[in-house]
């Protein structure tokens, strides 16, 4: 359906469409299926018929997988029921008892919890490293994989993925990356040396705060292990969720552009506020990760953080509560703006901040309305300080 010269804006509209199928319907419909019937026993043999059992795929899941494969330039894509499951499936497909795993200290919190509990019980040791650390000296003889997330969750440090991939590969370790912030449209993970690219499709792929889904995409040398692990663990995403993710994908490029524009408008405005110490957003000139971001990324999304001057907890609550357009809630990547205080968990190197950290997801509302909302929030903060 797509041409290799197409730009991503075009690819997202065309990828994974099954032209001519389904009576000409533009979108692959939702297939709800567990049992799929065979006309005879011969067609139950490998290669006999394209779909064999709901868990192993339907035309709906295949459309989504095909679309993602085109965007990721990967050899294999597996769909899973959540973003966290994409992280854990990618890790489990790589490690065995006795292995060592290196994980960035700014990793998504639940991924850290998985490593510190379930993975530990399975005999895999995890150690954490500062987002800007050189990983060469940290690699041990039994280091099997390096897990990155760039920019980091909550703190948004950009990491030098090509340099990390080079050091890991020389050592024989695999590189896993949670690429949820940038999506494959804004960071080409496999093109920068990542072996397993992870996406919480819950965020921008779905884009409408109504689906939990995830995927892992593997390059050629990692495809078989990923497919085997995914199959053995019985993982699948539902037909309805695949449909919603595919529908979200069609508008991903235009939404991301708007999310970035609004996040830039908000961060530029916040930068001039006396209540704000610093902004954590690599797209902003002056951010410590800006040069690397410019080198490796094609854009930024709508998620960023900022540090407030030291204020009492009650003042933070007064600021965050009472917003008209920013909801208080987990997750992000939907059309709606969100705001939350961030709680940083570090073990390798402390994250230094004197005041409270706030995370914002800039949604698709009018940027002026959002700025006015924040302005009223700062008035509440001042009253409560």
Ligand X SMILES: *Cc1c(COP(=O)(O)O)cnc(C)c1O
Chain positions contacting ligand X, by CB under 6 A: 82-84, 87, 108, 149, 153, 178, 180, 200, 202-203, 212, 214, 331
For ligand X, which is the closer residue by CB, 198 or 218? 198
C-beta of 17: minimal distance to ligand X in Å? 25
Of 32, 55, 140, 298, catalytic: 55
Annotation says 178 is catalytic: yes
Annotation says 108 is catalytic: yes
Annotation says 55 is catalytic: yes
Of 17, 148, 203, 359, catalytic: 203
| Beta-carbon contacts of residue 290 (< 8 Å; ≥ 6 apart) | 158, 282, 283, 284
What backbone phi and psi angles, to 5 degrees, belong to 14?
-110, -30
CA separation for the pair 338, 331 (Å, rounded)? 9
For ligand X, which is the closer residue by CB, 68 or 315? 68
For ligand X, which is the closer residue by CB, 113 or 309? 113
C-beta of 310: minimal distance to ligand X in Å? 27
C-beta of 178: minimal distance to ligand X in Å? 5
C-beta of 297: minimal distance to ligand X in Å? 15
For ligand X, which is the closer residue by CB, 153 or 267? 153
Annotation says 298 is catalytic: no
Of 66, 99, 160, 178, catalytic: 178
Of 17, 105, 108, 278, catalytic: 108
Strands 100-104 and 143-149: parallel
- Residues classed as catalytic: 55, 108, 178, 203
């Amino acid at each position: 359906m797509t041409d290799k010269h197409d730009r991503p804006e075009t690819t997202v509209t065309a990828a994974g469409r099954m032209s001519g199928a389904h009576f000409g319907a533009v979108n692959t419909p939702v297939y709800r299926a567990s049992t799929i019937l065979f006309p005879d026993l011969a067609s139950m043999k490998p290669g006999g018929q394209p779909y064999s059992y709901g868990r192993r795929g339907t035309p709906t899941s295949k459309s989504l997988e095909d679309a993602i494969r085109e965007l990721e330039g990967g050899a294999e894509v597996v769909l899973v029921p959540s973003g966290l499951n994409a992280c854990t499936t990618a890790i489990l497909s790589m490690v065995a008892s006795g292995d060592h795993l290196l994980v960035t200290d700014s990793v998504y919190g639940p991924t850290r919890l998985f490593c510190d509990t379930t993975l530990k019980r399975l005999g895999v040791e995890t150690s954490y490293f500062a987002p800007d650390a050189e990983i060469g000296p940290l690699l041990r003889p039994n280091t099997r994989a390096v897990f990155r997330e760039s920019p980091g969750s909550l703190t948004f440090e950009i990491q030098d993925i090509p340099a990390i991939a080079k050091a890991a590969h020389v050592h024989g370790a695999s590189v896993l990356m949670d690429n949820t912030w940038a999506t494959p449209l804004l960071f080409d993970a496999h093109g920068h040396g990542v072996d397993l690219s992870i996406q919480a499709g819950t965020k921008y792929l779905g884009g409408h705060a109504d689906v939990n889904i995830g995927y892992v995409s593997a390059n050629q040398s990692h495809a078989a292990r990923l497919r085997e692990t995914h199959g053995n663990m019985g993982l699948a995403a539902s037909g309805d969720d695949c449909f919603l993710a595919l529908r979200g994908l069609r508008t991903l490029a235009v939404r991301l552009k708007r999310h970035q524009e609004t996040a830039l408008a908000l961060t530029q405005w916040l930068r001039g506020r006396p209540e704000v110490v610093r902004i954590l957003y690599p797209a902003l000139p002056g951010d410590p990760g800006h040069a690397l971001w410019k080198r490796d990324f094609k854009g930024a999304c709508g998620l960023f953080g900022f540090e407030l001057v030291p204020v009492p907890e009650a003042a933070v609550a007064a600021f965050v509560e009472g917003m008209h357009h920013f909801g208080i809630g987990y997750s992000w990547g939907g059309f709606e703006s969100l705001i939350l205080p961030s709680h940083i968990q570090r073990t390798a190197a402390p994250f230094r901040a004197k005041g409270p950290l706030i995370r914002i997801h800039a949604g698709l509302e009018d940027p002026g309305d959002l700025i006015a909302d924040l302005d009223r929030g700062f008035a509440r903060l001042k009253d409560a300080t």
